[in-house]
């Protein structure tokens, strides 16, 4: 076999092996997407209820009363510090990315949009602390000289609520210690299998302004009285409900981001598999033409030699 035919044959075999890998990865990502969508659907019920409770408290002005009433003293490590408004000197940004590649434009979209958000901060990157969930984002911002105050790698393909609790505890502790004065969560929101949309949501401090008008237009939010009678106390209730609300925000964002990651991975692997199909077809056509040309040349040489002998 001529050298050119051997090279084309080698490329065909190599592309077929790559196609087997991308097809397998597509199937795995599709299976993970299906699993996390079922998990997310059941979680949304809980998230909706906890958000409804906080909405009611905001509607009754209980949150604002605690935040401005002086019940949280400086230096006190308390979940009530999540309500405390203070002058914004530094902003914390939670960036949720993947730990690996082969997910299409998933990571680049989050990072690009987060950089656009940072450019709007008055002090630029000097006024920002990055809290990275996912190795891609952590490595990117470290290399570019950003202050990375926290990083978490190895989030499960189907994240559990238990995974989120230490993340939330670290985030709230840093907020209460004054490392930053506002906190935003940046991630890709899953729209459908082919589409995701960047979101930047304000997480801390918790206030009625964070929730938007839609939360107060829900049926459950109608007809709420201005005051609550609480037992044992307002502070005791908020100490329990605020961490759950923060956990639900972060966990919901991670679930949403992971869903978008699996969808992006499935789509990119399908594209890679389809591209491999096209490349194999092109190479096989090239191989057949080269082989046909070689055979024709051999026949011509044999015929010519026979004619010379005669």
Residue 34 pLDDT grade (very low, low, confident, very high; cuts 50, 70, 90): confident
Q: How many CA atoms lie within 13 A of 229 on its CB side?
A: 0
Q: Are 41 and 158 in contact (CB under 8 A)?
A: no
Q: How far apart, in whole angstroms, are the C-alpha atoms of residue 203 and residue 254?
A: 14
Q: How far apart, in whole angstroms, are the C-alpha atoms of residue 124 and residue 93?
A: 12
Residue that wins the pLDDT comparison between 153 and 211? 153
Question: Which token pair is 19?
Answer: 């196609």
Q: How far apart, in whole angstroms, are the C-alpha atoms of residue 5 and residue 107?
A: 40
> What is the arithmetic mean of pLDDT over 161-175?
84
Task: Return the DSSP state at 204.
Answer: E
Question: Which token pair is 66?
Answer: 């605690």
Q: Are 87 and 181 in contact (CB under 8 A)?
A: yes
Superfamily for the 23-261 domain? ATP synthase, F1 complex, gamma subunit (3.40.1380.10)
> What is the arithmetic mean of pLDDT over 178-207?
86
Could you read off the pLDDT of 234-256 as tens digits, one per residue?
677 777 777 778 888 888 888 88
Backbone angles phi, psi at 129, to 5 degrees: -115, 125
The lowest-confidence range among 39-48, 83-92, 166-175 is: 39-48
Question: Which token pair is 72?
Answer: 């949280």
Sorted by where each begins, the domain ranges of the chain are: 23-261
The lowest-confidence range among 69-73, 85-89, 167-171 is: 69-73
Nearest residue to 248 via CA among 15, 106, 17, 49: 49
% of the chain surpassing 70 pLDDT: 82
Does the pLDDT value for residue 309 go beyond 90?
no
Q: Are 57 and 63 in contact (CB under 8 A)?
A: yes
Q: How far apart, in whole angstroms, are the C-alpha atoms of residue 191 and residue 202?
A: 20
Q: How far apart, in whole angstroms, are the C-alpha atoms of residue 290 and residue 107?
A: 42
């Amino acid at each position: 076999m001529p050298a050119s035919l051997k090279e084309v044959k080698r490329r065909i075999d190599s592309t077929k092996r790559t196609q087997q890998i991308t097809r397998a990865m597509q199937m795995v990502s599709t299976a993970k997407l299906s699993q996390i969508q079922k998990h997310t659907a059941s979680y949304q019920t809980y998230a909706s209820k906890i958000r409804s409770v906080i909405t009611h408290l905001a509607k009754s002005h209980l949150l604002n009363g605690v935040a401005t009433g002086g019940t949280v003293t400086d230096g006190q490590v308390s979940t009530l510090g999540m309500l405390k408004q203070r002058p914004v000197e530094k902003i914390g940004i939670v960036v949720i990315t993947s730990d690996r590649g082969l997910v299409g434009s998933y990571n680049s979209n989050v990072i690009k949009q987060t950089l656009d958000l940072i450019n709007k901060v008055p002090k630029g990157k000097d006024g920002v602390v990055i809290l990275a969930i996912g190795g891609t984002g952590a490595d990117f911002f470290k290399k570019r000289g950003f202050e990375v105050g926290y990083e978490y790698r190895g989030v499960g393909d189907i994240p559990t609520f238990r995974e989120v609790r230490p993340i939330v505890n670290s985030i709230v502790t840093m907020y209460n210690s004054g490392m930053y004065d506002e906190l935003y969560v940046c991630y890709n929101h899953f729209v459908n299998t082919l589409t995701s949309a960047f979101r930047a949501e304000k997480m801390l401090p918790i206030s009625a302004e964070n929730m938007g008008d839609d939360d107060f237009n829900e049926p459950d939010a109608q007809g709420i009285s201005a005051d609550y009678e609480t037992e044992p106390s307002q502070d005791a209730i908020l100490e329990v409900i605020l961490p759950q609300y923060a956990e639900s925000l972060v966990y919901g964002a991670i679930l949403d981001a992971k869903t978008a990651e699996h969808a992006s991975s499935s789509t990119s692997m399908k594209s890679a598999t389809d591209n491999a199909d096209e490349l194999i077809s092109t190479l096989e056509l090239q191989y057949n033409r080269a082989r046909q040309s070689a055979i024709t040349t051999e026949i011509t040489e044999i015929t010519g030699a026979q004619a010379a002998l005669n």
